[in-house]
């Protein structure tokens, strides 16, 4: 699976061999660890580290032109550009929703219903799980839910990290079980399994993990002090009219419309509703500062919110493309296939190979497409049910990207915590968010149980 797109027969070679190919990624991981331990959650801090890693990769590559081509091809994948555009539009939607008093209205409604503290974190998990299951997109769920649910935690006395972890966990749930999720589709189709049968069999793993996550969230989601203080918001019910904007996005996604279509119409609906209800003034949308030769406003501010994660994603995909061009994932799969002899060993090798592919590529679907054919060949030879194979693959890719601090879901969740700063909620680091994603930890426990005891093996 080479990303250069030039039809090269041989993998890209690096000075120093395998160590040289891995060196740029090692620099990136060291930088991530340093930023995390230093308490610097802003994803802009990853930009110079990624540029340094890319420069090192270029110096170590024996064919620098090919490495540069791979970088560009990795950055320009349609799925990457889709994510970037979605994050920019999501920033605009969040900016409009917040300025219109929706968070204040949400806090008011939660207070009226008596949902506070840890109960709000549990409710956030359920809401995100429903949205992600309905839409099949974890990233889209984070983009839609986090700017609405996270800021409210300040006035409701909810622990910030647990609240964002619950939102990330709910997004993970749908990515794992939704029949329209890209990982569900990829894991099922690579194993020749019927999607409906895979989803039904997957519930025996997902539901216990979700139940455990809700219990853990309920036990740890209370804030350190009473609700109030700088996060107290009292806007009444007026802002609840803005709920129609994200609802429109959700309806369009359920109707299988394109994510960008949903977000564009959602932004337009949010602006129209806010203006019609008198929640914002027209000049707040866009205003010109002639003396400073610039334009400001809610739309510009919203786009700027998405710049950090967008540039990070482009640079990271360029770095990952250099690894893929070296054929590391292909080499990993061939080695795993040659060492399988029994069903239990084959299952363990499949999980290890998939885990390594995810860690190296940071992309669930890329890992599934790379490892899936090997898992199917070995599984069919050893009589492992196709639903079982699909479930092991999907469980694996719904653990690591949602826990590791350098993967896009955790980085995105941390980035979106910036939407709560005006309400009194802190910016969070990606590694802290991943640590409290209890649902992915629950899925990891179910995966270990399945491998160690054969749980779920007979029925798929």
DSSP 38-94: HT---GGGHHHHHHHHHHHHHHHBSSHHHHHHHHHHHHT-HHHHHHHHHHHHHHHHH
Q: Is 305 helix (H, G, I), strand (E, B) or coil?
A: helix
Tell me the helix, strand and coil percentages in the chain, rounded to 5.
Answer: 75, 0, 25
Task: For tokens 């290890």, name the residue.
Answer: 352
Does a structural domain hold residue 190?
no
Phi/psi for 228 (5° steps) reads 130, -155
Structural tokens at position 32? 């991530």
Number of CB atoms found within 10 A of residue 129's CB: 28
| Residues in the chain where the model's pLDDT stays below 70 | 1-9, 36-37, 39-42, 224-236, 336-341, 458-460
The secondary structure element, H or E, covering residue 27 is: helix 18-38
Q: Is 301 helix (H, G, I), strand (E, B) or coil?
A: helix
Does a structural domain hold residue 54?
no
Strand locations in 170-317, DSSP E? Answer: 287-289, 294-296
Structural tokens at position 60? 């170590």
Quote the pLDDT of residue 224: 55
What are the angstrom distances between the C-alpha of 122 and each of 117, 133, 208? 9, 16, 15
- Burial zone of 77 (CB within 10 Å; 0-12 exposed, 13-18 middle, 19+ buried): middle
Quote the pLDDT of residue 42: 65
Of 50, 35, 37, the residue nearest 320 (C-alpha): 50
Contact 399, 447 (CB under 8 A): yes
Rounded to the nearest 10 degrees, the angle between the axes of helix 259-276 and helix 78-99 is 10
Looking at beta carbons, which pairs linking 255-262 to residues 24 or more positions away fall under 8 Å?
256/180, 259/82, 259/86, 259/137, 259/140, 260/82, 260/85, 260/86, 260/89
- Strands 287-289 and 294-296 turn out to be antiparallel
Sequence-distant (6+) residues with CB within 8 A of 153 are 120, 121, 159, 160, 163, 223, 231, 420, 425
- Burial zone of 137 (CB within 10 Å; 0-12 exposed, 13-18 middle, 19+ buried): buried
- Counting Cα atoms < 13 Å in the Cβ hemisphere of 291 gives 0
Under DSSP, the state recorded for 294 is E
Count how many domains the chain has: 1
- Counting Cα atoms < 13 Å in the Cβ hemisphere of 353 gives 32
Q: How far apart (Å, rounded) are the C-alpha atoms in residues 29 and 50?
A: 10
Q: How far apart (Å, rounded) are the C-alpha atoms in residues 120 and 113?
A: 11
| Domain boundaries, position 244 | 79-185+195-225+234-308
Does a structural domain hold residue 451?
no
Does a structural domain hold residue 274?
yes
Does a structural domain hold residue 326?
no
Quote the pLDDT of residue 85: 83
- Burial zone of 354 (CB within 10 Å; 0-12 exposed, 13-18 middle, 19+ buried): buried
Q: What is the pLDDT of residues 195-205, one digit of tens each?
A: 888 888 999 99
Q: How far apart (Å, rounded) are the C-alpha atoms in residues 315 and 347?
A: 34
For CA atoms 37, 42, 48, 50, give the dihedral sign: positive
Does a structural domain hold residue 256?
yes
Sequence-distant (6+) residues with CB within 8 A of 15 are 60, 61, 62
pTM of the model: 0.76
Sequence-distant (6+) residues with CB within 8 A of 72 are 318
Does a structural domain hold residue 293?
yes
Q: How far apart (Å, rounded) are the C-alpha atoms in residues 175 and 71?
A: 28
Contact 77, 83 (CB under 8 A): no
């Amino acid at each position: 699976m080479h990303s250069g797109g030039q039809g090269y027969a041989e993998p890209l070679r690096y000075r120093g061999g395998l160590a040289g190919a891995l060196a740029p990624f090692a620099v990136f991981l060291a930088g991530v660890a340093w930023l995390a331990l230093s308490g610097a959650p802003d994803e802009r801090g990853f930009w110079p580290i990624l540029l340094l890693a890319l420069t090192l990769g270029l110096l170590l590559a024996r064919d620098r032109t090919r490495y540069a081509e791979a970088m560009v091809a990795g950055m320009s994948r349609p799925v990457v550009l889709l994510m970037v555009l979605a994050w920019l539009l999501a920033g605009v939607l969040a900016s409009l929703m917040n300025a219109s008093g929706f968070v204040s209205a949400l806090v008011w409604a939660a207070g009226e219903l008596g949902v506070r503290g840890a109960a709000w974190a549990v409710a956030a998990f359920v809401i995100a799980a429903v949205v992600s299951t309905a839409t099949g997109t974890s990233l889209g769920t984070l983009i839609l839910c986090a700017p609405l649910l996270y800021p409210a935690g300040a006035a409701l006395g909810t622990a910030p990290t647990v609240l964002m972890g619950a939102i990330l966990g709910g997004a993970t749930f749908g990515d794992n079980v939704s029949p329209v999720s890209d990982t569900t589709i990829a894991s099922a189709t690579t194993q020749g399994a019927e999607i409906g049968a895979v989803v039904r069999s997957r519930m025996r793993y997902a539901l216990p993990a979700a139940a455990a996550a809700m219990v853990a969230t309920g036990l740890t989601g209370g804030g350190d002090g009473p609700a109030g203080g700088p996060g107290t918001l009292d806007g009444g019910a007026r802002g609840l009219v803005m709920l129609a904007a994200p609802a429109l996005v959700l309806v369009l996604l359920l109707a299988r419309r394109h994510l960008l279509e949903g977000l564009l119409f959602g932004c337009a609906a949010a602006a129209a509703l806010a203006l019609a209800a008198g929640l914002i003034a027209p000049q707040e949308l866009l205003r010109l500062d002639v003396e400073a030769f610039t334009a400001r406003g809610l739309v510009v501010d919203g786009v700027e919110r998405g710049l950090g994660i967008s540039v990070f994603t482009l640079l990271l995909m360029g770095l990952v493309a250099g690894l893929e061009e070296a054929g590391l994932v292909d080499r990993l799969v061939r080695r795993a296939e040659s060492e399988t002899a029994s069903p239990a060993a084959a299952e363990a090798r499949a999980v290890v190979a998939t885990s390594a592919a995810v860690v190296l590529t940071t992309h669930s679907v890329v890992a599934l497409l790379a490892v899936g054919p090997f898992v199917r060949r070995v599984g069919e030879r050893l009589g492992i049910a196709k639903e079982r194979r699909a479930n092991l693959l999907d469980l694996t890719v719904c653990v690591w990207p949602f826990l590791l601090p350098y993967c896009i879901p955790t980085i995105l969740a941390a980035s979106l915590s910036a939407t709560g700063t005006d309400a009194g909620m802190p910016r969070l680091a990606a590694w802290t968010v991943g640590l409290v994603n209890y649902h992915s930890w629950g899925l990891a426990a179910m995966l270990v149980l399945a491998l160690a005891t054969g749980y779920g093996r007979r029925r798929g």
